[in-house]
Structure 1
Amino acid sequence: MIATLVVVAAALLMVRLGFWQLERRHEKEALLAHYAANVATSPAALVALWPVHESDLFRRVSAHCLTVVGWQAEAGRNRAGGSGWRHIASCSTGAEGPGFVVDMGISQSSASPGWKGGDVRGRLIWAPTGQPLVARLISAPVAPTPMIVSETAAPGLQPTADPDPASIPNNHLSYAVQWFLFAGIALVIYAIALWQRARKKA
């Protein structure tokens, strides 16, 4: 009796997770549609959008990097599809507003470029966190940082590939199907186990 309750409860939980993934699928579709609309939205100053929200991503924004206070190199691709190091500058803005980061382009070297700052314009996305998957699973998520992918590369660099909302996967339907399958398989296996036990008793 207890085993039956445990199996049924587990199956119901997996079915609930499946329906939750279907809900997330519709939410993701709406968000991706909003991102696509943002691509055609008029440019805005980054400071006017602060604090940046998920709904602001993929807008074309502008900002002034008063001083570069640090560089970070991450794997990336240029507009031609070639791979390399994307160079991300941490910028201070003085009295203009909060600091921000900007992807200034791609090169084959991880060495920091000589760009010292200036006006930047490009698409707004979240900066890479650098947090490993295992760390994300066992610790609190790192707060996202807004990043401008500059449409004009720094001297000596190639422009980074333009952020595209269409490249964001929406896998929630497949996740939902998986949860429903897990629930069905669990019930079938348990039913077979009960049938075999009944045969042995007979």
Structure 2
Amino acid sequence: MPEPRPDYRFARRPWWILSHLFAAGMVVLMVNLGFWQLRRLDERRTHNALIESRQDLPPAPLGELLPAGPASSPEEVAEVAYRMVVLRGRYALDEQVLVRNRTSEGLPGYWVVTPLVLDDGTAVAVNRGWVPFASTDPEGPWPQYDPPAASVTVTGMVQEPQVRAGGLVGGPVDAPEGRLWTLSRVDVGRLAQQVAQPMWPLYVNLASQEPAQGELPQPVPPPDLSEGPHLGYAGQWFVFAGLTVIVYPLLLRRVARHRGREAVEA
């Protein structure tokens, strides 16, 4: 007995039309997500190239990079982000803070941020590195992490200050007034409220220091210059889109054959 002809009349019913539209919409969505991940990959590569080009330049005094000093604009700071700089001055121990919820190799802890008072009387927030969560009381001061009291020379990487993203629901908020021992992020503007000296609108991730500090804090590693998972995610979305294009027609054909056999039997 020959195989009955497939019956596709079911595919014109309203529910199935919605199913076709849904499948087509999912294919369009997945293809767009794939191209979005490729755009993210291009952005990541461009950003990595920018970081590499800047951090490979020789360290320079901060005043040469930002002649306006503490009055520098956010745009001017962005132009020198990731540049290596050399700072000379004395740490203001009484104004040291911890930045909460920072990890190192999966372990929870803090960043130790200490204002460095330069020879001209201005101050730069220096992220001296990470300390483990269990090793310190969040209410300072913390004499076990005190840097040298004498003048120091710090080499580090310029970073733009961290601010709370607008509209972030449920994100941590620091008290707007009073002396804070810990901060949610390296918010230089908030730190400046409790520092006596004029502060530069940036912070510096310490890379090395003379005289050197102890084993703790551990300096924060340089930025991750990997390409991330974007290429893999793009490939997954394209594969999902291709499978939908192949599998959905096969599903329709299977249902049509089943309907055709039912019609012959009837």
RMSD: 4.2
Q: Could you tell me which residue of structure 1 aligns to residue 231 of structure 2?
A: 173
CA distance in 2 between counterparts of 1:195 and 1:103 reads: 63
2:82 aligned with 1:58, yes or no?
yes
The Cα of 1:107 is off from its aligned counterpart by 5.3
Q: SS in structure 1 opposite 2:219? A: coil
Cα pair 2:44 2:227 within 8 Å, conserved: no
2:20 aligned with 1:4, yes or no?
yes
CA distance in 1 between counterparts of 2:130 and 2:171 reads: 31
Q: Could you tell me which residue of structure 2 aligns to residue 20 of structure 1?
A: 36
Q: Could you tell me which residue of structure 1 aligns to residue 10 of structure 2?
A: none
Q: How many pairs were matched up? A: 190
2:155 aligned with 1:121, yes or no?
yes
**How has the CA–CA distance of structure 1 residues 171 and 19 changed in structure 2, closer, same or farther, with 3 Å as cutoff?**
same
Pick aligned residue for 1:72 from 69, 75, 99:
99
The Cα of 1:157 is off from its aligned counterpart by 3.0
Cα pair 1:88 1:101 within 8 Å, conserved: no
Q: SS in structure 2 opposite 1:88? A: strand
How high is the TM-score relative to the length of structure 1?
0.68
Segment drifting more, 117-126 vs 3-12: 117-126
The Cα of 1:30 is off from its aligned counterpart by 1.8
**How has the CA–CA distance of structure 1 residues 50 and 66 changed in structure 2, closer, same or farther, with 3 Å as cutoff?**
farther
Q: Which runs of 5+ in 1 are unaligned?
A: 78-82
Give % identity.
22
Q: SS in structure 2 opposite 1:8? A: helix
Q: RCO greater where, 1 or 2, for CA within 8 Å and sep 6 or more?
A: 2
**Aligned ranges for residues 1-202 of structure 1 at < 5 Å?**
1-44=17-60, 45=62, 48=66, 50-51=73-74, 52-53=77-78, 56-62=80-86, 67=92, 68-72=95-99, 74-76=102-104, 87-89=111-113, 91=115, 101-106=125-130, 109-110=135-136, 112=142, 113-115=145-147, 120-125=154-159, 147-150=203-206, 151-152=208-209, 154-155=213-214, 157=216, 159-160=218-219, 162-166=221-225, 168-202=226-260
CA distance in 1 between counterparts of 2:28 and 2:116 reads: 52
Letter in structure 2 aligned against 1:172? H
How high is the TM-score relative to the length of structure 2?
0.54
Q: SS in structure 2 opposite 1:20? A: helix
Letter in structure 2 aligned against 1:160? P
Letter in structure 1 aligned against 2:240? F
Letter in structure 1 aligned against 2:99? Q
CA distance in 2 between counterparts of 1:4 and 1:18 reads: 21
CA distance in 1 between counterparts of 2:44 and 2:30 reads: 21
The Cα of 1:92 is off from its aligned counterpart by 8.0
Q: Which runs of 5+ in 2 are unaligned?
A: 1-16, 67-71, 173-183, 188-201, 261-266
